[in-house]
Structure 1
Amino acid sequence: MKTEFKFSNLLGTVYRQGNVIFTPDGDSLLSPVGNRVSVFNLTKNTSYTLPFAHRRNIVHIDLTSNGNLLLTVDEDGRAILTIFPRRTSIYHFSFKGNITALKFSPDGRYFVVGLGRKIQAWSTPQVPGSDGGELDFAPFVLHREYGGHFDHVRHLSWSGDSRFFLSSSKDSTARIWSLDPEEGFEPTVLAGHRQQIRGAWFSASQESIYTVSEDGALFRWEYVTRAQQHGADPEDADPEDLEKWRIVQRNYFMQNAKLKCASFHPTSGLLTVCFANGLFSLYELPSFSAIHTLSMAASPISTISMNKTGEWLALGSAKTGQLLVWEHQSESNILKQSSHLDTMTTLSFSPDSSRIITGADDGLIKIWDIFSGFHIATFTEHSSAITGSAYSRRGNVLFTSSLDGSVRAWDMLRYRNFRTFTAPQRLSFACLAIDPAAEVVCAGSHDSFDIYLWSVQTGALLDQLSGHEGPISTLAFTPDGRMLVSGSWDRTIRTWNVFDRSQSSESLQLTSDLLCVAVRPDSAQIAASTLDGQLTFWDIETSVQQATMDGRRDVSGGRTLSSRRTAASTPGTKSFNSITYSADGSCLLAAGNSKYICLYSVSTLTLIKKFTVSINLSLDGTQEFLNSSAIMSNGLPRDMIDTEGEASDLEDRIDRSLPGAKRGKDATKRTVRPEVRVTGIEFAPTGRTFSAASTEGLLIYSLDTAGMDDFDPFDLDVDVTPQNVEDIIQQKRPEYLKALIMSFRLNEKKLIRKVYESIPRTQISLVVRDLPRVYLGRLLHFLAQQLESSPHLEFALTWIGEVVAVHGRYVKERAGQFSSELRAIQRSIDGVGKTIRNLGQRNSFEIEFLCQQQSQGKVAMLTNGNGAGEGSIDGVDVDMADNDGWIGFE
Structure 2
Amino acid sequence: MKTDFKFSNLLGSVYRKGNLVYTADGTCLLSPVGNRVTVFDLVNNKSHTLPFAHRTDVARIALHPGGQLLLTVDEQGQVILSHFQRRIVLYRFSLKEAASALVFSPSGSHFAVALGRRIEVWKTPSTPGSTDGADGDDYGGLEFAPFVRYRRYVGHHDTVQNIEWSSDSRFLLTASKDLTARIWSLDPEEGFTPTVLAGHRTGVYAAWFSHDQETIWTVSKDGALFRWQYLPSPDAAPETLSDGDERWRISDRHYFFQEQAHLTTAAFHAPSNLLVTGFSNGLFMLHELPDFSEIHKLSIAASNIDTVSINKTGEWLAFGSSALGQLLVWEWQSESYILKQQGHFDSLNSLTYSPSGDRVITCADDGKVKIWDTASGFCIVTFTEHTSGVTACEFARRGNVLFTASLDGSVRAFDLIRYRCFRTFTAPKRLSFSSIAVDPSGEVVAAGSLDDFDIHIWSVQTGQLLDQLAGHEGPVSSLAFAPNGGSLISGSWDRTVRIWSVFARTQTSEPLQLQADVLCVTVRPDSKQLAVSTLDGQLTFWSLSEGTQETGLDGRRDVSGGRKATDRRTAANAAGTKSFNTVTYSADGSVVLAAGNSKYICLYSVETGVLLQKYTVSVNLSLEGTQEYLNSRLLTEGGPQALLDEQGEASDLEDRMDTSLPGAKRGDAAQRKAVPEVRVPGVAFSPTGRAFCAASTEGLLIYSVDASVQFDPFDLDIDVTPESTLKVLTNREWLKALVMAFRLNNSKLVTRVYRSIPTTDIGLVVRDIPQVYLERLLRHVAKEADASPHLEFNLLWLESLLRQHGRVLKERQGEYAEVVRMVQRAVTRIQNEIMKVADQNKHTIEYLLGQPRPAAEVNGDTMKMLGRIDGVKMDRSAGVVQDEDMADGDDEWIGLE
Same fold (TM > 0.5): yes
1:144-159 maps to which residues of 2 (within 5 A)? 144-159=151-166
Q: 1:825 aligns with which of 787, 791, 797?
A: 787
Q: 1:181 to 1:668 in 2, by over 3 A?
A: farther
Is the 2:481–2:488 contact (alpha carbons within 8 Å) kept by the matching residues of 1?
yes
Provide the residue aligned with 1:654 in structure 2: 657
Is the 1:14–1:38 contact (alpha carbons within 8 Å) kept by the matching residues of 2?
yes
Provide the residue aligned with 2:686 in structure 1: 684
Q: 2:247 aligns with which of 234, 244, 251?
A: 244
CA distance in 2 between partners of 1:803 and 1:197 (Å): 71
Provide the residue aligned with 1:790 in structure 2: none
Is the 1:63–1:69 contact (alpha carbons within 8 Å) kept by the matching residues of 2?
yes
Deviation, structure 1 residue 272: 0.2
Provide the residue aligned with 1:855 in structure 2: 853
Deviation, structure 1 residue 442: 0.7
Letter matched to residue 442 of structure 1: A
Is the 2:643–2:672 contact (alpha carbons within 8 Å) kept by the matching residues of 1?
no
Q: Alpha-carbon deviations, 1:397-444, whole Å to 9, x = none? A: 110001111111111111111111111111111110011001111111
Is the 1:200–1:212 contact (alpha carbons within 8 Å) kept by the matching residues of 2?
yes
CA distance in 2 between partners of 1:378 and 1:199 (Å): 36
The structure that has the greater radius of gyration is 2
Q: 1:550 to 1:248 in 2, by over 3 A?
A: same
Q: 1:849 to 1:687 in 2, by over 3 A?
A: closer
Q: 1:668 to 1:136 in 2, by over 3 A?
A: farther
Q: 1:266 to 1:391 in 2, by over 3 A?
A: same
Q: Alpha-carbon deviations, 1:18-74, whole Å to 9, x = none? A: 001111111111100000001110000000100000000000001011111000000
Letter matched to residue 212 of structure 1: V
1:606-617 maps to which residues of 2 (within 5 A)? 606-617=610-621
Provide the residue aligned with 1:214 in structure 2: 221
Q: 1:706 to 1:804 in 2, by over 3 A?
A: farther
Quick check: 1:489 aligned with 2:493?
Answer: yes
Provide the residue aligned with 1:716 in structure 2: none
Is the 2:741–2:750 contact (alpha carbons within 8 Å) kept by the matching residues of 1?
no
Letter matched to residue 684 of structure 1: S
1:169-180 maps to which residues of 2 (within 5 A)? 169-180=176-187
Is the 1:402–1:429 contact (alpha carbons within 8 Å) kept by the matching residues of 2?
yes
CA distance in 1 between partners of 2:835 and 2:108 (Å): 45
Q: 1:266 aligns with which of 266, 270, 282?
A: 270
Q: 1:186 aligns with which of 169, 193, 196?
A: 193
Provide the residue aligned with 1:699 in structure 2: 701
Which one is further off, 582-591 or 697-706?
697-706
CA distance in 1 between partners of 2:847 and 2:227 (Å): 57
Structure 2, unaligned stretches of length 5 or more?
132-137, 712-721, 724-737, 792-825, 857-892
Deviation, structure 1 residue 540: 1.3
Provide the residue aligned with 1:777 in structure 2: 747
Q: 1:204 aligns with which of 198, 204, 211?
A: 211
Provide the residue aligned with 2:149 in structure 1: 142
Give 3-state SS (helix, strand or coil) of 1:648's partner.
Answer: coil
1:794-809 maps to which residues of 2 (within 5 A)? none
Quick check: 1:568 aligned with 2:575?
Answer: no
Deviation, structure 1 residue 525: 1.0
Q: 1:652 to 1:182 in 2, by over 3 A?
A: same
Is the 1:99–1:114 contact (alpha carbons within 8 Å) kept by the matching residues of 2?
yes
Quick check: 1:312 aligned with 2:316?
Answer: yes
Is the 1:572–1:593 contact (alpha carbons within 8 Å) kept by the matching residues of 2?
no
CA distance in 2 between partners of 1:529 and 1:840 (Å): 49
Deviation, structure 1 residue 777: 3.2
Provide the residue aligned with 1:513 in structure 2: 517
CA distance in 1 between partners of 2:645 and 2:119 (Å): 23
Q: Alpha-carbon deviations, 1:151-173, whole Å to 9, x = none? A: 01111111111111111011111
Provide the residue aligned with 1:7 in structure 2: 7
Q: Alpha-carbon deviations, 1:516-561, whole Å to 9, x = none? A: 0111111111111110001111111111111121110100011101
CA distance in 2 between partners of 1:448 and 1:828 (Å): 56
Letter matched to residue 706 of structure 1: S
CA distance in 2 between partners of 1:313 and 1:474 (Å): 46
Is the 1:259–1:276 contact (alpha carbons within 8 Å) kept by the matching residues of 2?
yes
Provide the residue aligned with 1:114 in structure 2: 114
Letter matched to residue 320 of structure 1: L
Deviation, structure 1 residue 366: 0.3
Give 3-state SS (helix, strand or coil) of 1:678's partner.
Answer: coil
Q: 1:113 to 1:388 in 2, by over 3 A?
A: same
CA distance in 1 between partners of 2:406 and 2:836 (Å): 40
CA distance in 2 between partners of 1:134 and 1:778 (Å): 33
Which one is further off, 162-171 or 803-812?
803-812
Give 3-state SS (helix, strand or coil) of 2:81's partner.
Answer: strand
Is the 2:166–2:172 contact (alpha carbons within 8 Å) kept by the matching residues of 1?
yes
Q: 1:669 to 1:778 in 2, by over 3 A?
A: farther
Provide the residue aligned with 1:752 in structure 2: none
Q: 2:503 aligns with which of 499, 506, 511?
A: 499
Q: 1:143 to 1:550 in 2, by over 3 A?
A: same
CA distance in 2 between partners of 1:425 and 1:832 (Å): 47
Letter matched to residue 316 of structure 1: G
Q: Alpha-carbon deviations, 1:487-531, whole Å to 9, x = none? A: 110000100101111101111100001100111111111111110
Deviation, structure 1 residue 135: 3.4
Provide the residue aligned with 1:671 in structure 2: 673
Give 3-state SS (helix, strand or coil) of 1:85's partner.
Answer: coil
Letter matched to residue 174 of structure 1: A
Deviation, structure 1 residue 850: 7.0
Quick check: 1:389 aligned with 2:413?
Answer: no
Q: 1:494 to 1:273 in 2, by over 3 A?
A: same
Q: 1:93 to 1:573 in 2, by over 3 A?
A: farther
Provide the residue aligned with 1:124 in structure 2: 124
How many percent identity over aligned positions?
Answer: 58
Q: 1:558 to 1:171 in 2, by over 3 A?
A: same
Is the 2:645–2:672 contact (alpha carbons within 8 Å) kept by the matching residues of 1?
no
Q: 1:295 to 1:773 in 2, by over 3 A?
A: farther
Is the 1:564–1:626 contact (alpha carbons within 8 Å) kept by the matching residues of 2?
no
Give 3-state SS (helix, strand or coil) of 2:456's partner.
Answer: strand
Is the 1:476–1:485 contact (alpha carbons within 8 Å) kept by the matching residues of 2?
yes
Q: Alpha-carbon deviations, 1:426-468, whole Å to 9, x = none? A: 1111110011001111111111111111111111111111111
Is the 2:584–2:593 contact (alpha carbons within 8 Å) kept by the matching residues of 1?
yes
Deviation, structure 1 residue 692: 0.6
Quick check: 1:403 aligned with 2:407?
Answer: yes
Letter matched to residue 853 of structure 2: S
Deviation, structure 1 residue 640: 3.6
Letter matched to residue 295 of structure 1: S
Q: 1:327 aligns with which of 326, 331, 349?
A: 331
Letter matched to residue 217 of structure 1: A
Provide the residue aligned with 1:167 in structure 2: 174
Give 3-state SS (helix, strand or coil) of 1:855's partner.
Answer: coil
Deviation, structure 1 residue 247: 0.7
Deviation, structure 1 residue 628: 2.1
Provide the residue aligned with 2:292 in structure 1: 288
Q: 1:306 to 1:485 in 2, by over 3 A?
A: same
1:541-690 maps to which residues of 2 (within 5 A)? 541-570=545-574, 573-632=577-636, 634=637, 636-643=639-646, 647-661=650-664, 671-690=673-692
CA distance in 2 between partners of 1:565 and 1:192 (Å): 55
Letter matched to residue 239 of structure 2: D
Q: 2:458 aligns with which of 445, 454, 457?
A: 454
Deviation, structure 1 residue 855: 2.8
What is the RMSD computed on CA atoms of the aligned residues? Answer: 3.3
Is the 1:8–1:705 contact (alpha carbons within 8 Å) kept by the matching residues of 2?
no
Q: Alpha-carbon deviations, 1:788-825, whole Å to 9, x = none? A: xxxxxxxxxx9995699999999977348858954761
Give 3-state SS (helix, strand or coil) of 1:186's partner.
Answer: coil
CA distance in 2 between partners of 1:855 and 1:292 (Å): 50
Q: 1:642 to 1:152 in 2, by over 3 A?
A: farther
Quick check: 1:439 aligned with 2:409?
Answer: no
Provide the residue aligned with 2:304 in structure 1: 300
Deviation, structure 1 residue 840: 9.1
Q: 1:51 to 1:816 in 2, by over 3 A?
A: farther
